[in-house]
Amino acid sequence: MKSTLDILEATITNVMTEVTGQKDCSALVRPATDAKFGDYQVNGVMPLAKQLKTNPRKLAEQIVAKLNSATADKLSDICETPEIAGPGFINLRLKPELVAANLLQISKDAGQFGIEKAEKPKTIVVDFSGPNIAKQMHVGHLRSTIIGDCICRLLELRGHKVIRQNHIGDWGTQFGMLIAYLRVLYKDKLKQPDSVSIGDLEQFYKNAKHWYDTDPTFADSAREEVVKLHNNDKDTLSVWKEFVKESRRHYQPIYETLQIDLIYAHEKGESFYKDMLPGVVAELKKKGLAVESEGAVCVFPVDSTHSTSSGQTSSPQAGFKDKEGKPLPVIIQKSDGAYLYATTDLAAIRYRVGELKADEIIYVTDARQGLHFEMVFTVAKMAGWVKPETELVHVTFGSVLGEDGKPLKTRSGENVKLKELLDEAVERARKVVEDKNPGLPEDEKKKIANAVGIGAVKYADYTNNRTSDYIFSFDKMLAMEGNTAPYMQYAYARVRSIQRKGRDKGIEVDKEIAQSQSISLTEPSELDLAKHLIRYGEAVSSAVSDYRPNYLTAYLYDLAQKFSSFYNDCPVLDASADKRPTRLLLCDLTAKTIEHGLHNLLGIEVIEQM
């Protein structure tokens, strides 16, 4: 179903064109910033007045007059008489009849919540998580993993074909170091590589790296191992395979704990592209884009948006610069023949567009990789590997900080392991459950602690504007007040308990809802909740169009609060017979919407009883 916002936008834009003859105007209808002024406001009059060099308030008056005239009868079905405010805003207030009708429709159209499908579904590759092999996942991988997963769910809900890609770091010099190290010190482990645990691998890698950095002879032998690996040496390759497997045994359970839809089939790590790398370099050379520079093969990317009007893009002035103002290259092959992270990303773009037929590729990594992706995207465009209409998007995020405002580390200064962090969250959530409901059976307690603990970590991350850093605090994320997972889970459980109580009292809850043909919204808090419920689709749209889960969590929190006010003001089970079906329906849709948001879109468990 088309959202009210979209209908308003289209109707008012039309009227603006009719009034002014201006074709390229738009109403810019946005949710009102303050409910005092109505539900939506039209922001597009002022820019249009400026363009036409006319008085914005007068123009707003003309538009409103037209909107009120018979020709715009559609609008009067939706809104009360529009009001002009300030220098030229138009405020719109939805009619209760429209709210009631939409609510009924959403409740009948089970599971879709009035969410609109994309007009032109696209094939979208989402590259997220990407842990590095032989290391444990740390808190730095949390954001990419969960934000990426939520973006996939949002896009799928809108009807796009989503291809999840886990670009694991499974190729490169670190394996050379690791294997060279074992060759010298732990020959037996090389014979039984499947006996090496992820913890061992991590420790060996740390030692090997230190050795590599301090001893040129060892560094040489590490490089030799890399060459062997790259030449598909059988023994080296089979050791490498075991290490990748062990790493997978480590991260797959973490995905399951976090309810992340990433499986082996989504894994296309760096090694997947290894045989394509020579071709990437050769093609870039052939196209005259790659040049030798100080022994390495480089491309100097030039953003076509900076190009001259003649289409000549070779002016180095328009390219990327280092601090001294010298042109900055993307190195695609080192003088020793080794390929780089960027070379693999170029091969991946070519594959994703060429083979996976991606219309859009989304990369979810922290903001520090911004320049890397900007340069790689530019090279891919110069090479003609992406069409002008293919979208390449880098969805960035900030860091997770400790209470001291510095990147979250353990006391000894190490990265916090994701597994340990999640275990601690569940343990702490267990205490919350013990406090709230000590009489629950043991397995219930366990289940709830798990849902609350993991939910709290995820939800806290999602509520933060992804581009900012945030301070990780167990106390805050596990609090029963504020916009937290336990608060939302509790809100859900409360609505469900109202329904249960109703059934216990002999009220045929589902029948009453199913049979309600008309809805009467008389109390202000009732209408307020209903209006919010019909706007779930808007929250989903804004979250997906900006790849920002926090729009969704903000919506859910408002919903829980509006439900609280409604439930304070309006009896539900004891309501009179003419009011009860509407109120039962409001409860039901509230519960279903929270469940859909938390569970289907954020991958957080809801709990029937807390």
Residue ranges that bind ligand ARG, judged by CB under 6 A: 127, 130, 132, 167, 169, 345, 348, 363, 365
Residue 327, phi then psi, degrees to nearest 5: -60, 135
Kindly tell me which of 350 and 580 has the beta carbon lying closer to ligand ARG.
350
Kindly tell me which of 169 and 301 has the beta carbon lying closer to ligand ARG.
169
What's the min distance (Å) between Cβ of 209 and ligand ARG? Answer: 16
Where do the H-state alpha helices sit in 523-579?
524-533, 536-545, 549-569
What's the min distance (Å) between Cβ of 272 and ligand ARG? Answer: 11
List, as own/partner pairs, every contact residues 579-583 make where C-beta atoms lie below 8 angstroms and the sequence separation is at least 24, other chains included. Answer: 579/520, 579/522, 580/507, 580/512, 581/512, 581/513, 581/515, 581/516, 581/519, 582/516, 582/519, 582/520, 582/521, 582/526, 583/526
What's the min distance (Å) between Cβ of 348 and ligand ARG? Answer: 6
Kindly tell me which of 91 and 174 has the beta carbon lying closer to ligand ARG.
174
Question: How many CB atoms sit inside 10 A of residue 259's CB?
Answer: 17
* β-pair type (391-395, 360-364): parallel
Residue with smallest beta-carbon separation from ligand ARG: 130
Question: How many CB atoms sit inside 10 A of residue 334's CB?
Answer: 13
What's the min distance (Å) between Cβ of 284 and ligand ARG? Answer: 18
Helix (H, G, I), strand (E, B) or coil at 159: coil
Question: How many CB atoms sit inside 10 A of residue 595's CB?
Answer: 16
Residue 29, phi then psi, degrees to nearest 5: -80, 130
Kindly tell me which of 345 and 512 has the beta carbon lying closer to ligand ARG.
345
Under 8 Å between Cβ of 558 and 532: yes
What's the min distance (Å) between Cβ of 519 and ligand ARG? Answer: 48
What's the min distance (Å) between Cβ of 398 and ligand ARG? Answer: 15
Gap between the terminal Cα atoms of the chain: 35
In sequence order, which residues have a C-beta less than 8 Å from that of residue 542 and are 6 or more positions away? 548, 551
How does DSSP classify residue 138?
A: B
Place of tokens 């106390």: 475
What's the min distance (Å) between Cβ of 167 and ligand ARG? Answer: 4
Kindly tell me which of 168 and 521 has the beta carbon lying closer to ligand ARG.
168
Instruction: Say how far residue 472 (Cα) sits from the centre of its chain.
Output: 19
What's the min distance (Å) between Cβ of 460 and ligand ARG? Answer: 22
Kindly tell me which of 320 and 341 has the beta carbon lying closer to ligand ARG.
341
H or E element, residue 290? strand 290-293
Kindly tell me which of 153 and 167 has the beta carbon lying closer to ligand ARG.
167
Kindly tell me which of 365 and 463 has the beta carbon lying closer to ligand ARG.
365
Q: What is the rounded distance in angstroms from the CA atom of residue 229 to the CA atom of residue 106?
A: 57
Kindly tell me which of 148 and 603 has the beta carbon lying closer to ligand ARG.
148
What's the min distance (Å) between Cβ of 361 and ligand ARG? Answer: 9
Q: Is 311 left (phi over 0), alpha (psi -120 to 50) or beta?
A: left
Q: What is the rounded distance in angstroms from the CA atom of residue 395 to the CA atom of residue 417?
A: 23
Under 8 Å between Cβ of 485 and 557: no
In sequence order, which residues have a C-beta less than 8 Å from that of residue 138 and are 6 or more positions away? 415, 416, 417, 418
What's the min distance (Å) between Cβ of 166 and ligand ARG? Answer: 9
Place of tokens 């340069």: 375
Under 8 Å between Cβ of 244 and 135: no
Kindly tell me which of 348 and 572 has the beta carbon lying closer to ligand ARG.
348
Kindly tell me which of 137 and 586 has the beta carbon lying closer to ligand ARG.
137
Under 8 Å between Cβ of 334 and 296: yes
What's the min distance (Å) between Cβ of 127 and ligand ARG? Answer: 5
